Every structure is written in C-alpha cells, then in structure tokens.
Amino acid sequence: MTEFLWRAIQDQRTNINIKQSINQPLIEIMKKKKDEDFKQAKFEVINKLTSDQSRYIALACEKGASSWLSALPLEQYGFALNKQEFVDAIALRYNFAIPGRSETCVCGEINTQDHSLICKKGGFVSIRHNTVRDATASLLEKVAYGVETEPHLLPVGNRTLPSGSNISDGARLDVAARGFWTPLDKAFFDIRVLHPGAMSNNNKSLEKMYSDHEKEKKRMYNSRVIQIEHGQFTPLVFSTTGGMAKECSCFLKKLSEKLSHKTNQKYSDTVNFVRRRIRIELLKTCLIAIRGHRGRFYQRPINVEELDLNLISDQH
C-alpha cells in the first residue's frame, strides 16, 4: 500500500502526486480482510460466553444501541447523564448487578433488573412509551404537517375487517402526520417498546422477537387504517436496549433523509442524531424504572382533623 511513497523517498522526489500514491484496490482488499478478521475474533469470543451473555452482547451490537456512549453530554439536547445514571447504564448494557436496590418489588416479585423494566407498578412502562411517542412526534413536526398524538380512528361501522383487527370505536394510535411517506396522505404510527428480557421474548431470536411484535401491531391496525382511514400504517417497535424492528429502522432512515434535506446537513450526521435522540430517551426512562419508587410515600393516609389549619377554630 505504501510502495509508491517509499519509492518516492528512495528517489528523493520533491513532488508527489497523492492520487497516484493511493492504491484503492489494495485498500479495499485490506479493509475486507480486516472485517473478516474482526468477525472471526468476535465469533470466537461469543462462543466462549454463556447464552445469556452472548444475547446481551448481540443486543448491544444492534445498530443505534451504543450511540449513547459516543454522544457528547450536551444538556441542551438532553444527552447528559449524572454519575449514577452512567454507571447504571453500563450495568444494564452488560447485565451487571446494580447495587442499592431492594430485593423484592412492591408487587411481591423478586426485583431483578428484568422485572424492574416490565413491572407496571409506578407507571414507568407508560412513561417509557409516552416519552418515545413525544420524541417521535417532535421530530415529525420538522418534516410533516398536521402532526398529532393519540389520534382517534374513524368508526368501522358495518365494514368487515380481517380477524384480529381492532374494531372498537374508541381505538387510538400514537402519532399521525400528513405528507410523510407520500404527499397529502395521512400516515399513522403506533409505538411499542419491548423488553428482550421478558419471558415472552427471552427464548426468541432477535429477528423473530421484533417480527412477532410488528406482525401483532399490523394485524390489529393495518387493515383498519388502509380501508377505513385510507392512510398508511407503520408499527414502530423499539427495544429497551436500543434496537428496533425493520419497519422502524426504515422510518428513522426516511425521517433522517427528510431532516437532512430540510436543514441542509449531511445525512450521516442527521441519522446519527435521530438514533441518538431516541436511544437516550429510551435509556433515561429505563434508568428511572430501575431505581424508581413504586410504593407509597407514607404509611397511612393523613388525618386532616389532626392538623391545625385554623379551620375548625374559625367555625366555633
């Protein structure tokens, strides 16, 4: 690769054509060999791990899952973590034990890290979902119009939809926007944040795990949106570890492409920012759930009559 340069040094040349010195075919060969060596080394390391350890490594290797580690801690973008949050985030990434947590959850279950991320006590699962929903809507507002959250779907009426479709009159999706996929048309998005450590997901491959959740969302809403709303439906399936399903990945790429065009910035920078924004929102809500308080703040209800509020004395 450096033959042209060392010959130039030997010959004591004073002028060098840089373009001639670049052996592009050889560079491509070296890159390919380096990638193959890396994959082989990765394969050998993973084979030495337990099934649980290799699964967590696979989750950490998903596109966008590690983007929070390379983010500058800028508070104005919400990218800053305090010391405890950063240490807990590393522990979550590799399934290390997190000290200082109670052994039993208020719901009676053993308070493992997996349980903390799926327990519905305290409302942390809803907070996670709503945070991702709001972040998605905020980004959509930059490139689409008519963006709304929790839009009601039109009644089905006498129409017949496929088995498994949600036909309730009060059905709502998470986000709707016009002009995203095609001009003027209304696009609907429904968000799900799954946890790979949940019992329903733990024994599935990553591909099947994401695929099953996507299919469930599409079975419930796709036909209704197409036939009743005459719109487009996209399930946005994320995981607590930062990964995402195929259709969600396509959505983020399209969103980044539109943002890049509108802001006149490089696509690579834009897509990195979008992935990082969603990833850190997910991470923060997971950290809140890990150490969040799920019980009461007091032992018994306060008896107002025991307090001197100058109310009882005024009545006498």
Within this chain, do residues 129 and 268 fall inside the same structural domain, yes or no?
yes
In a domain, 59, yes or no: no
Same domain? For 41 and 190 the reply is no
SS3 label, residue 212: helix
Whether 104 is in a domain gets the answer no
State the pLDDT at residue 298: 54
Same domain, residue pair 43 and 119: no
Q: Does 237 fall in a domain?
A: yes
143, 280: one domain: yes
77/268 Cα distance (integer angstroms): 18
What does residue 126 show for φ and ψ, rounded to 5 degrees? -70, -40
Indicate if the pLDDT at residue 43 is higher than 60.
Answer: yes
Same domain, 32 and 173: no
Same domain, 41 and 185: no
Domain range for 147 is 113-157+166-291
- The answer to whether residue 302 is domain-embedded is no
Residue ranges of the alpha helices (H) in 99-205? 113-118, 124-140, 199-202
Q: Do 21 and 119 share a domain, yes or no?
A: no
- Note whether 274 and 148 are same-domain residues: yes
Q: pLDDT tens digits for 71-107?
A: 888 888 888 999 999 999 999 998 888 988 888 888 8
Q: Which two tokens stand for residue 118?
A: 């799926």
Examine residue 106 and state whether it is found in any structural domain, yes or no.
no
The whole-number pLDDT of residue 131 equals 96
The pTM of the full predicted model, rounded to 2 decimals, is 0.81
Residue 267 lies in a domain: yes
Judgement on whether residues 16 and 145 belong to the same structural domain of the protein: no
Predicted pLDDT of residue 22:
65
Q: How confident is the model at residue 42 (pLDDT cuts 50, 70, 90)?
A: confident
The span from the first CA to the last CA of the chain, in angstroms, equals 98
What is the pLDDT, as a whole number, of residue 303? 67
Alpha-carbon span 222 to 209, nearest angstrom:
19
pLDDT 10s digits, 184-214: 999 999 999 999 999 999 889 999 999 999 9
Kindly state the helix (H) or strand (E) to which residue 232 belongs, with its residue range: strand 232-239
Residues 6+ apart with CB under 8 A from 97: 91
Query: HEC string of 242-299?
Result: CCECHHHHHHHHHHHHHHHHHHCCCHHHHHHHHHHHHHHHHHHHHHHHHHCCCCCCCC
Cβ count within 10 A of residue 19: 7
The answer to the question of residue 96 being in a domain is no
Q: E strand or H helix at 27, and its extent?
A: helix 24-47
State the pLDDT confidence band at 27, using cuts at 50, 70 and 90.
confident
Domain count, the chain: 2
Same domain, 40 and 117: no
Question: In whole angstroms, what is the distance from residue 4 CA to residue 136 CA?
Answer: 51
pLDDT band at 234 (very low <50, low <70, confident <90, very high): very high
**pLDDT confidence of residue 49:** 84
Q: Is residue 241 part of a domain?
A: yes
